[in-house]
Amino acid sequence: MRMKPRSTSNTVKRLFRYMNKYRVLLIIAIIVIGLASLGAIIGNYMIRPIINSLVAGEGVATLARQVLITALIYLLSVIGQYIAGRLFVYCAENTTANIRHDVFSHIQTLPVKYFDQREHGDLMSAMTNDVDNVSIALGQSLSNIVRSVLMFLGTIMMMFILSPILSVINIILLGLLYFAVKIVASKSSKAFRSRQATLANLNGFIEEYMSGQKVIKVYNHEQETIEDFSEHNEKLFEDATKADTFATLMFPLTGNLTYVVFSIIAMIGSYMTINGVFAMDIGTLASYLNFTRNVSRPVTMIANQFNMIVAALAGAERIFDILDEEPEIDEGQVKLVTDQKGRCYWHVPTTLYDCQAIIARTEQMRQADLPDAEFTERYPGCLVPLRGDLRFVNVSFGYDNTHDPVLKDVSFYAKPGQRLAFVGTTGAGKTTITNLINRFYEINKGNIYFDGIDIRDIKKQDLRHQLGMVLQEVHLFEDTIKENIRYGRLDATDEEIVAAAKAANAHDLIMQLNDGYDTMLTPDGLNLSQGQRQLISIARAAVNDPPILILDEATSSVDTRTESLIGQGMDEIMQERTVFAIAHRLSTVRHSNAILVLENGLIIERGEHHELMDLKGRYYEFNTGVVELE
């Protein structure tokens, strides 16, 4: 996660903007806790008349009445604190729920490259640990700090009323206490921020290696993994120890210093009472000493809560880092639509025009096998049928502009209904092509046309809705098979789901399971075989009924028998669709209309299987084993 210059004041302002929605309840809570604090202060003051009554011998009745009034004041104070606490918790939990919702919603708007550059564990840590720290701070620490501040101010005021001289001495001593606390608090703030960042790194490490257990065991790297974990764990141990050391130091530091303050004030006050200085009586001294003892409690409470506040602010800064990330930009104007019969069209926006002429021009462009700049002129009121014509024109792209591009001046076309296969070694640029078709990344140079429209002019959601993808790594959700297939199109009926499964050759396998389509899957569908997961993934793509289908090494992780089943399913759903296939198994691409061989970001060969075999070039070498296809 990227680091920014830290600004505690800005972080606090942003947190309170979230709480602004509940400002009325917060004001009520502050008023109630103010009244409760006032009650506690008055209860402390009641020591003065009670002791003075005893000294004066005013009788049991007077003493009982004063004690009863004091008890009632404390009872009302406790009730007020409870009500205020509930209000603070309600506001805090709603605020953190809104923060959590905003973070999750914002993450959905971020581009794919953001997730390619960040550890998923880092995001998980922000969504859990950091948000939890904010929740605790707002729900508990905030109310305690508000109460402590009010108690501190009220106590100081009563102390000045009882004895201005002792109060001036007290303020001076408390000022020295403040500077001592400030020094420790400054070091504690840095330590807690470091601990939060280290914890996020450890979470990312754990998530990555937990999901990669099979790879670890295949290569017998258990010991190396334990050593790597120990390094991360040791770093967290060091940072957490440092942070917690300052946290534990805060309480004895403030506690012992306040005892010193109390002792000094007690000695001076006793001297004033014995000698009758400034009319100090024993009841006033007792009440004042109680306030002196209590004035340090708000300071101690604030000091103790400070560690949680620091942890919460560190977490909030990381949360706001995510919220400040720029969402995926979509400047597309052309809208792709689907009618009630499932037929796809693109809508032409500006001034009214002859739609039939546009359709005729579309046919001319396709017959010419060339993209047409005039065709990208857009007019309103027209629905032009989508055919699945896709063209790359002099496309260059690199994930990092400081390095050599992954694709270099690449041009190719796929007519509606054609099957194109991409073959090449790892890093040749095959998967990059599919990323660019989906606009997961924007090209650096050139154009990509979808039915004559530059894909940068098409709304991203509309574009991706017309593209079906079957990936090598299948991700299934912890839900039923039926709902996992429906994820391809959320308004699909049960009948359409069954039809898609049949088309993908998955129906028979699904029906062999105990609960059929209602079978509950574990995360990532690990209670199914790799082949079964892949067939469900194909059915999910089929239910969307897209004009363009992208197969990214869809059969590379299964055995030949399962590959045959998957191949039959894909043959069915590939009918009348434009298909782009990336494959490591060359047997799956032999029936393609065109095979494109990529090397170092360039298309070095194009043709059908027999043409490329006759050419005896790189494709021939892949098939004969002269060059290994990785």
Percentage with pLDDT > 70 across the chain:
83
Per-residue pLDDT of 77-94, as tens digits, reads: 999 989 998 898 898 889
Percentage with pLDDT > 90 across the chain:
9
**Per-residue pLDDT at 554:** 63
pLDDT for residue 392 is more than 90: yes
Long-range (24+ apart) CB contacts under 8 A made by 615-620 are 619/423, 619/595
* Across 221-230, 241-250, 331-340, least confident range: 331-340
Return the CA Rg of the chain: 36
pLDDT for residue 251 is more than 60: yes
Q: At what angle do helices 60-109 and 47-56 cross, to 10 degrees?
A: 170
Report the amino acid identity of residue 541: A
Q: Are 131 and 351 in contact (CB under 8 A)?
A: no
pLDDT for residue 328 is more than 80: yes
Taking the mean position of all CA atoms in its chain, how far away is CA 520?
A: 26
Per-residue pLDDT of 29-43, as tens digits, reads: 989 998 998 888 888
pLDDT band at residue 482 using 50, 70 and 90 as cut-offs? very high
Q: Are 119 and 312 in contact (CB under 8 A)?
A: no
- Which residues does 410 contact at the CB level (< 8 Å), separation at least 6? 392, 394, 395, 396, 429, 433, 446, 601, 602, 603
Per-residue pLDDT of 425-436, as tens digits, reads: 877 888 889 889
**Per-residue pLDDT at 381:** 46
**Per-residue pLDDT at 393:** 92
Q: Are 316 and 15 in contact (CB under 8 A)?
A: yes
- 366 versus 67: which is more confidently predicted? 67
Mean pLDDT of 277-300: 78
pLDDT band at residue 254 using 50, 70 and 90 as cut-offs? low
pLDDT for residue 5 is more than 70: no
Q: Give the CA-trace dihedral at 158, 164, 166, 171, to 10 degrees.
A: 80
Mean pLDDT of 140-167: 85
pLDDT for residue 370 is more than 50: no
pLDDT for residue 376 is more than 60: no
- Which residues does 481 contact at the CB level (< 8 Å), separation at least 6? 510, 513, 516, 517, 518, 519, 521, 536
Mean pLDDT of 49-53: 83
**Per-residue pLDDT at 345:** 64
pLDDT band at residue 339 using 50, 70 and 90 as cut-offs? low
Place of tokens 């400047």: 331
pLDDT band at residue 219 using 50, 70 and 90 as cut-offs? low
* Across 117-121, 125-129, 144-148, 451-455, least confident range: 117-121
pLDDT for residue 350 is more than 50: no
**Per-residue pLDDT at 114:** 83
pLDDT band at residue 565 using 50, 70 and 90 as cut-offs? low
Question: SS3 of 396, please?
Answer: strand
Q: Mean pLDDT highest for which of 9-13, 116-120, 626-630?
A: 9-13
**Per-residue pLDDT at 548:** 86
**Per-residue pLDDT at 398:** 87
* Across 8-17, 92-101, 168-177, 357-366, least confident range: 357-366
Mean pLDDT of 525-547: 84
All structural domains of the chain, each given as residue ranges with its CATH number in brackets, are 8-323 (1.20.1560.10), 335-387 (no CATH), 391-624 (3.40.50.300)
**Per-residue pLDDT at 555:** 62
**Per-residue pLDDT at 498:** 92
pLDDT for residue 557 is more than 60: no
Mean pLDDT of 412-429: 86
**Per-residue pLDDT at 378:** 42
pLDDT for residue 4 is more than 50: no
Paired with 354 in beta bridges are: none
**Per-residue pLDDT at 126:** 81
d(CA 438, CA 442): 9
Residue 425 has phi, psi (to 5 degrees) of: -75, 170
- Which residues does 341 contact at the CB level (< 8 Å), separation at least 6? none
Residue 592 tokens, joined: 């393609």
pLDDT band at residue 380 using 50, 70 and 90 as cut-offs? very low
